[in-house]
Amino acid sequence: MSGGLATRLVVARDTGFTLDAELAILPGRTVALLGPNGAGKSTAVAAIAGLLPLDDGYVRLGDKALDEPREGQFVPAEDRNIGVVFQDYVLFPHLSVLDNIAFGLRSRGVGRHAAAESSRDWADRLGLAGLHARKPVDLSGGQAQRVALARALATHPELLLLDEPLAALDVTTRAQLRRDLIDHLSGFAGPRLVITHDPAEAFLLADEIHVIEAGAITQVGSPDEIRLRPRTKYIADLAGSNLFSGVAANGTVAVGAHTLTIADTHAAGDVLATINPRAISIHRHRPEGSPRNAWQTTIVRIEHHGDRVRLQTGSPLPLTAELTPVAVADLVLRIDEPIWLSVKATEVGVDAD
């Protein structure tokens, strides 16, 4: 747990695909590698974990070079001290929960008794007490995820690598497990890397997001920077779905000082609210009728993306709105101009956080 991860991953695949991505993570920080399927995320996991040798670049963890082709340096996976939570968890189906957690310790030469004791501790810490003897097939998705996490953490790794840690879970349990995962991540002192295709996951788990597309990093920034200033169409599309943490009560969601009206009157407590940029209407004057959510704000930025124009609005609730060029021209919109904005209550998505 001495140092951070610094890596430049260059891997050429037979298919013509090349990954070339640079990443640096300080201890105690969580970085998300966010990208669509086929962007090279899994290749990156395999390369950092040591399951796939680099063609060029380097993987350094603390002061150790784990893979550096130009120096002829390669440390195989079993000699790296990296905890990996794999996509679909990849628990050993023939081993019990406890034996799964103990696997790393036993492989690293810890005695049977000590390994079992340590595994019990980890199992209990992750809320798996009472499931010690279960086989993976008898676990729920959330339990399996925690076993995978315990298994990865039990060997006290210097780096924690999580590949789509929430993708295998159903929507109802995902929110709770996401919160638990944030707790577990903050309990790990080393650098953490979360691989995901889900922007919500990246925004909520990471201190910093690296967006990867077609093998290359296209944008690096804090979740807010990525969300508010997307640099490519992919990021704009996925980040543009305005996302807020809020507290729901009586058909409203409080996001900071601002309150949004929502259609779902039963939602209560911590929620994740989303608004599709295309569902936002822009007006020069106060809209007529009675849209529940309407407020005056200013235009912070105008971006042109082919047949779409994206507007970034300012306080009280910064949003991304998407309009057609014709609409923008009709409204004669300019930066720093005051405008009115409205969103129907039914267009505010609410997801238990």
**Interface with other proteins (CB under 8 A):** 46, 49-51, 76-84, 86, 90, 92-95, 103-104, 107-108, 151, 155
Cα separation, 44 vs 9, in Å, equals 7
Minimum CB distance to other proteins smaller for 100 or for 342 = 100
Minimum CB distance to other proteins smaller for 77 or for 333 = 77
Work out how close the CB of 125 gets to other proteins at its nearest, in angstroms, rounded to a whole number: 18
Alpha helices (runs of H) in the chain, residue ranges in sequence order: 41-49, 97-107, 112-125, 141-153, 171-186, 199-205, 223-228, 233-239, 325-331
The backbone torsions φ and ψ at residue 81, rounded to the nearest 5 degrees and listed phi first, read -115, 70
The backbone torsions φ and ψ at residue 74, rounded to the nearest 5 degrees and listed phi first, read -150, 120
Work out how close the CB of 77 gets to other proteins at its nearest, in angstroms, rounded to a whole number: 4
Minimum CB distance to other proteins smaller for 12 or for 51 = 51
Work out how close the CB of 329 gets to other proteins at its nearest, in angstroms, rounded to a whole number: 53
The neighbouring-strand residues paired with 34 are 196, 211
Work out how close the CB of 85 gets to other proteins at its nearest, in angstroms, rounded to a whole number: 10
The position carrying tokens 């930025």 is 301
Minimum CB distance to other proteins smaller for 29 or for 108 = 108
Contact present, 24 and 67 (Cβ < 8 Å)? no
Minimum CB distance to other proteins smaller for 146 or for 151 = 151
The backbone torsions φ and ψ at residue 5, rounded to the nearest 5 degrees and listed phi first, read -100, 135
Work out how close the CB of 69 gets to other proteins at its nearest, in angstroms, rounded to a whole number: 19
Burial class of residue 259, CB neighbours in 10 A (0-12, 13-18, 19+): middle
Edge to edge, the sheet with strand 5-12 lists: 73-74, 64-68, 56-61, 5-12, 18-25, 216-221, 208-213, 30-34, 192-196, 159-163, 82-85
Work out how close the CB of 54 gets to other proteins at its nearest, in angstroms, rounded to a whole number: 16
Work out how close the CB of 80 gets to other proteins at its nearest, in angstroms, rounded to a whole number: 7
Contact present, 271 and 353 (Cβ < 8 Å)? yes
The backbone torsions φ and ψ at residue 222, rounded to the nearest 5 degrees and listed phi first, read -70, 160
Minimum CB distance to other proteins smaller for 2 or for 107 = 107
Minimum CB distance to other proteins smaller for 108 or for 125 = 108
Contact present, 50 and 77 (Cβ < 8 Å)? yes
Contact present, 246 and 293 (Cβ < 8 Å)? no
- The first and second tokens of residue 122, run together, are 């980890």
Work out how close the CB of 175 gets to other proteins at its nearest, in angstroms, rounded to a whole number: 27
Minimum CB distance to other proteins smaller for 30 or for 81 = 81
Minimum CB distance to other proteins smaller for 62 or for 251 = 62
Q: Is 263 helix (H, G, I), strand (E, B) or coil?
A: coil
